[in-house]
Structure 1
Amino acid sequence: MSSENYTSDILSKWNTFKIKIIFQGMLVGSLTGLLIVLYRVFAEKAFNFSSNVYLYLKHQPFLIPVWFIFLALMGIFIGYLVEKEPMISGSGIPQVEGVLLRKLKLNWLKVLIFKFVGGIVCLAGGLSVGREGPSIQMGAVLADGYCEVTKRPKIKINFLITAGASAGLAASFNAPLAGVIFALEEVHKNFSPIVLTTTLAASITSSFVAGNFFGMEPIFHVNIKDAIPLTSYPYLIVLGIIVGITGIFFNKGLLKTQDLYAKQKLIKKKYWPVIPFLLAGVLGFFIPEVLGGGHVLIDSVLNSNSFSLIFLFQLVIVKYIFTLICYGSTSPGGIFLPLLVIGSLIGIIYGSLLVKYLGFNQTYIPNLIIIAMAGYFTAIVKAPITGIILLTEMTGSFSHLLSIALVSIIAYTITELLNSKPIYESLFERLIPSSKDIFHGESKHKVILEIPVCLESKLENKMISEIEWPSNCLIAAIKRGDSEIIPKGNTIMYASDYLIVLTNEDSASNINDCLCQYGGVSQLLS
């Protein structure tokens, strides 16, 4: 066992640890960047294959039955992969959160291979799934594999898994800042200095690696001429309400679709993926724009005015239903890109209606599309900072930053008023009871938790000795600004402090949950 698993060694090497973890984050970022580059190349080829098949079949209709048989076989293959490794189902983000909470375990190599292959097959079949969820999960499991192969001490694993997740998103979307913010805001739910510096190092490195292959241009090519004038901001308030409500509708629809799959008894679970594959075959002949994640569709919407309102309504409805059917079937793939597509369609429909009936300036429709995407993302994921930064990086324009922030906060407020949970939190809650991959730690291994002290929490303005701490935990230090305090019984904890807590691996999950409640955070990953 590494000496770094002993309490005395961990505490004595704490300052060195904070430096080493940054360089290890850069290494994880480099490896993740190379992996996601490979995944993006295959994903693009898979989508092009699917698109070309339908063009070919229009001239060779006698081969259509053969294509549907092939689609069914792809669905059966995906069902087989998910049956053998359930941790690859869906986007993989709830699974990563479960691992970080020490509630789930995974076989990193098996998940990595199955997720990679499964994601590519789904895109080749035309399923409405994105590459970002698999990229995040593969980055996380690659970091886990790095820790296992190099025998990193247990205290480093979660920091590096978070770094891998952020690097995966950064390389997938050319969005290093969004990768960092998403990892902190959604995956880790902790803005501690160590997590921040490690994820930042990984995201920048990963984005640099990907940029050497794909260039540093924004993912979406959009010509934003001017920011929306302040006199038009009342329209944005209405847009914020619309995307907030429709985002809630997406979340409820996704969960309801999962329930419908589970309730029906006609088709066994391992054959569920056949349903979206066959449906993709039908849609490919009638409305092929909804196939795949939707990157091409977003670019078309941003740079073309050729779509009629009726067709736009058809697109948003079909894309919405198709995405729910794909994700509910347990097929491996993300919802980031599909939900951004739906948001963009809502934006162009709203803008077109404003132009037609209220004399809105048509040149601002691309602005509305970008703004609606960010607001819709916020309503579903409930990560407003990520949504704002993500769309800013993906478009390469800061001119609409204020308007994006306004719509995002309105959408977020709507979801709060209507008690809508973040989609990944809801999916995580459903995942834990049904999962067989429950994590069981070992008492001989030590881990470090970072617990923030929030305003009006049980810990704020209290002395260490006044709190009834759970057993098997040691308050090793208090991070306050740039200083680190060795705590005593009469040390007072203030809001914005970070408690550095040392505990056994097998107790970490329960202690983390307990201290999060003490600190005023409903659930915090460390």
Structure 2
Amino acid sequence: MTLKAFDSWNKSDFFNLLLALPVGIIAALVTVLFREAISAVNGVMFQDGTDITRAFLEYPRWIWPLITGCGGLVAGALLWQARRVEARQGSAPDYLEVIDRRLPGIPAQGTLWRGLSSLASIASGGSIGREGAMVQLSALSGSLLAQGARLPTVRRGDVIAMAAAGGLAAVYHAPLAGALFVAEIAFGVTAVQRLIPLFIAAAVSVLTVRSLTGDAPLYFYAAATFEPGAGALLTVLLIGVAAGVAGPLFLSIIELARRAFSPIAHPVWRLGLGGVLVGGVAMVSPLVLGNGFEVIDRLLNGGDLATPLLALLLLKVLATALTVGSGAVGGLFTPSLLVGAAAGALVCASLHALGIDPGPMGLYAAIGMSAMLAATSHAPLMSIMMAFEMTLNSSLLFPLMLATAISYVVASCFATAGAYPVLNRHNARFQAKSEFETGTIGPLMNRECSFVVESATAAEAMREGLKQKTRFVYVISGEGRFLGVVSTSDLATGIMEGSLAAEATITPFIIKEFTTVYQDARYEQAWALLSDSPLERLPVLDNAENRHLLGVITKASLLHKAQEFL
């Protein structure tokens, strides 16, 4: 008995299912080891390094820029070493590039040196996400596993994707979001064959982390419930719009910082300067230090911030721009979550000041997290699921969906690209495919085509066919109406054998039943006709009534058009 549900699955898909279990476990172990390494370094630097925003208070404020600056120098030296290795062995591309471009794997040495550079930036208080290095190192573990296994039926990109999904899921304890992120960003698809292994790897990774660390959901927030109402809906809508505008602005500020640091060529001095400047910002508010995990927890649960919300938002954006712009290795996930949480809380507080009570501020901080993440990553499904899985507050699902959808649409109206260039290529391919399915062949038609009139002689038609190197010569009436074709080879054979006079008219030899296509036909329709035919080109007519010959559409031009999305 055949299981029809698996008819579309091939051998490599089943291998992926089997590999998802060990890949998820390995990815979880990588993230745990990296987190422990950060804790070890912070344990040496501080008496209590569990909360970086409080740990710095052990030292006088004037020392803070020295700490972050020294961390930047170390991170820059490690990044410089990574570049030296990459100069000899080839660059270490981001795992998303490896998956999208089907590269053979992730180079180990360069990736490890970059991971150490990220560790130095994070441990010294750099305003950057831990997830960037964790996921890249998890993807490296998948790459090494795929190379070592030497399984010809398993594409290495699939294994790398499973490891990346597992790594991201382990960082945020969000298996659905981890799988959806890779599906949305890396693959640009949500096919079942691709999603199921990602779900398995992500779920196994989270289970492994929880069994080792006993951690609960990252930002468990069940103390409040979202109550739909006019004030609540207004707040959600405003958060969606605000995040949609703030997300591209946030990325633009980071890009400006990159340009400002670009004259400093050596990474040691560039990251060192970035670290000193971040330390200076931290002297105003230590809440900008680190990725923002602890501050988000305070925003959700009403903890004391000691910094006005607007100041926190602006300072965090500045600190992140300085860290990322100076070239620090890391991610934007958690900084984006903090900026979004602060923005959501700020909208709620502003409405409170106007006499509108939408509800607890923590609810809208969580909604802002999802909306801002979608605006910067351009991955709305992942953003919704991540905020939901991190809080496990079921009442938030509807407002998360609404605010995130609005934020994504608003952010898409800006020219600023998202944080992941690979997604722009997916969108370009999607648009090209959509155009191929719905666009008409008129713009692709070649109007310079060969033809003869029906009064032409056999010799004239034969010469035209040989001149243009075509099997068939189109025949039109005096008014330009397409009548059919004559075979170049048949005419040439008849003339050479003497069975056909060169001056004879071609009217008896016109083949009237010949495949044609109209100018308003879609690319896909024209391709369907040509793919089932030995012909390399088809005549294009204006319409079924007039049948005037306008030009030709070639198989080569359609193939070139299809390459835009293949």
Q: How does the TM-score come out when normalised to structure 2?
A: 0.69
Are the structure 2 counterparts of residues 380 and 31 from structure 1 closer, same or farther at C-alpha, using a change threshold of 3 Å?
same
Deviations 1:14-70 (A, max 9, x none): 7333212211122111111111111122234445646476333239x7x77974774
Of residues 7, 30, 35, the one that matches 1:35 is: 30
- Change in CA separation of 1:37 and 1:517 when aligned onto 2, cut-off 3 Å: farther
Does the Cα contact within 8 Å between 1:134 and 1:334 map onto a contact in 2?
yes
Contact 2:225 2:395 in 1 (8 A): yes
- 1: CA distance between counterparts of 2:22 and 2:201? 7
| 2:185 pairs with 1:186 | yes
1:217-236 paired onto structure 2 within 5 Å: 217-232=216-231, 233-236=233-236
Distance 2:125 2:267 in 1: 20
User: Does 1:245 find its partner at 2:245?
Assistant: yes
Equivalent-residue separation in structure 1 for 2:271 and 2:100 (angstroms): 29
Identify the residue that residue 390 of structure 1 maps to in structure 2.
Answer: 386
1:8 corresponds to which residue?
none
Deviation at 1:454, TM superposition (A): 6.3
Secondary structure at the counterpart of residue 272 of structure 1: helix
Using the TM superposition, name which of 29-38 and 274-283 deviates more.
Answer: 274-283
- 47-56 or 248-257: which moved more? 47-56
Q: 1:85 to 1:389 in 2, by over 3 A?
A: farther
Match of 1:292 among 274, 290, 300: 290
Aligned residues: 438
Superposed displacement of residue 137, structure 1: 1.4
Paired residue type of 1:213: L
Residues 188 and 423 of structure 2 are in contact (CA less than 8 Å); yes or no, is this contact kept in structure 1? no
2:94 alignment partner, SS class: helix
Which residue of structure 2 lines up, in the alignment, with residue 506 of structure 1?
none
Q: Which deviations, in whole Å up to 9, do the C-alpha atoms of 1:200-241 show, x marking residues without a partner?
A: 121111111111123352101334422131323122212211
Deviation of 1:290 (Å): 0.5
| Cα deviation, residue 518, structure 1 | 3.8
Please give the per-residue CA displacement for 1:180-213, whole angstroms capped at 9, x wherever unaligned: 1001011221222221122112111111111112
Partners of 1:377 and 1:68 lie apart in 2 by: 26
Residue 504 of structure 1: aligned partner: none
User: In the aligned structure 2, how far is the partner of 1:467 from the partner of 1:192?
Assistant: 29
Structure 1 position 356 matched with structure 2 position 353: yes
Tell whether 2:197 aligns with 1:198.
yes
CA distance in 2, matches of 1:203, 1:131: 18
Q: 1:158 to 1:305 in 2, by over 3 A?
A: closer
The alpha-carbon deviation at position 333 of structure 1 amounts to 0.7
How far, CA to CA, are the matches of 2:559 and 2:181 in structure 1?
A: 23
Alignment partners' CA distance in 2, 1:133 and 1:515:
38
Please show how residues 384-463 of structure 1 align to structure 2 within 5 Å: 384-425=380-421, 457=437, 462=525
Shift in alpha-carbon separation, 1:182–1:107, aligned structure 2, 3 A? closer
Contact 1:75/1:277 (CA < 8 Å) preserved in 2? no
Q: Distance in 2 between matches of 1:57 and 1:231?
A: 48
Deviation of 1:154 after TM superposition, in Å, equals 7.1
Aligned to 2:129: 130
- Give the aligned partner of residue 322 of structure 2: 325
SS of residue in 2 equivalent to 1:169 = helix
The two structures, once aligned, show a CA RMSD in angstroms of: 3.6
Separation in structure 2 between the aligned mates of residue 190 and residue 516 of structure 1, nearest angstrom: 23
CA contact (8 A) 1:83 1:270 kept: no
Instruction: Give 1:377's aligned amino acid.
Output: L
Q: Which has the higher contact order (CA 8 A, sep 6+)?
A: 1
Q: Distance in 2 between matches of 1:77 and 1:136?
A: 22
- Aligned partner of 2:389: which letter? E
From the superposition, tell whether residues 253 and 282 of structure 1 become closer, same or farther in structure 2 (CA, over 3 Å).
closer
**Distance in 2 between residues matched to 1:144 and 1:515, nearest whole Å:** 33
Moved more, 40-49 or 149-158: 40-49
* Residue matched to 1:139: 138
**1:117-139 CA distance string (max 9 Å, x none):** 22221111100111112222122
Query: Which blocks of at least 5 consecutive residues in structure 1 are unaligned?
Result: 1-12, 430-451, 469-487, 491-513
Comparing 329-338 with 220-229, greater Cα deviation is found at 220-229
CA distance in 2, matches of 1:255, 1:247: 13
Partner in structure 2 of residue 480 of structure 1: none
- Cα deviation digits, residues 155-199 of structure 1 (max 9, x gap): 521111111111110111111000110010112212222211221
Distance 1:289 1:201, change over 3 A: same
Please show how residues 77-96 of structure 1 align to structure 2 within 5 Å: 77-84=77-84, 95-96=94-95
CA contact (8 A) 2:79 2:113 kept: no
Higher alpha-carbon deviation: 196-205 or 416-425: 416-425
Deviation readout 1:75-126 (Å, 9 max, x if unpaired) = 4424424433569xxxx9x822221232766653214422332222111110
Are the equivalent residues in 2 in contact too, given 1:224–1:366 (CA < 8 A)?
Answer: no
Corresponding residue of 2:446: none
Alpha carbons of structure 1 residues 284 and 242: separation in structure 2 relative to 1, 3 Å = closer
Q: For residues 419 and 269 of structure 1, do their structure 2 counterparts lie closer, same or farther at Cα, with a shift above 3 Å needed?
A: same
CA separation of 1:65 and 1:405: change in aligned 2, threshold 3 A: closer
* Matched AA of 2:365: I
Change (3 A) 1:164 1:516: farther
Counterpart of 2:261? Answer: 261
In the alignment, is the contact (CA less than 8 A) between 2:95 and 2:106 conserved in 1?
no
SS at match of 1:221: coil
Provide, for residues 276-330 of structure 1, a one-character-per-residue CA deviation record: whole Å limited to 9, x for no partner.
222233344432111000100101111226446x722211111101101111222
- 1:414-469 CA distances to partner (integer Å, 9 max, x unpaired)? 1233344322128988xxxxxxxxxxxxxxxxxxxxxx98697269975975466x
Match of 2:17 in 1: 22
Distance in 2 (alpha carbons) for counterparts of 1:318 and 1:120:
22
> Does the 8 A contact of 2:98 with 2:106 survive in 1?
no
Match of 2:344 in 1: 347
| TM-score (normalizing by structure 1) | 0.74
Q: Identity rate of aligned residues, in percent?
A: 21
The letter for the 2-side match of 1:125 is S
Write the distance in 2 (CA, Å) between the matches of 1:371 and 1:166: 23
Distance in 2 between the 1:348 and 1:17 partners? Answer: 47
**Amino acid in the other structure paired with 1:397:** N
Change (3 A) 1:72 1:406: closer
User: Structure 1 residues 324, 317: CA separation in 2 closer, same or farther (over 3 Å shift)?
Assistant: same
- Distance in 2 (CA, whole Å) between partners of 1:322 and 1:516 is 46
- Tell whether the 8 Å contact from 2:433 to 2:565 is kept in structure 1 after alignment: no
- 1:258–1:85 CA distance, 2 compared to 1 (3 A): farther
- Change in CA separation of 1:105 and 1:17 when aligned onto 2, cut-off 3 Å: closer
> Which of 263, 276, 279 does residue 278 from structure 1 map onto?
276
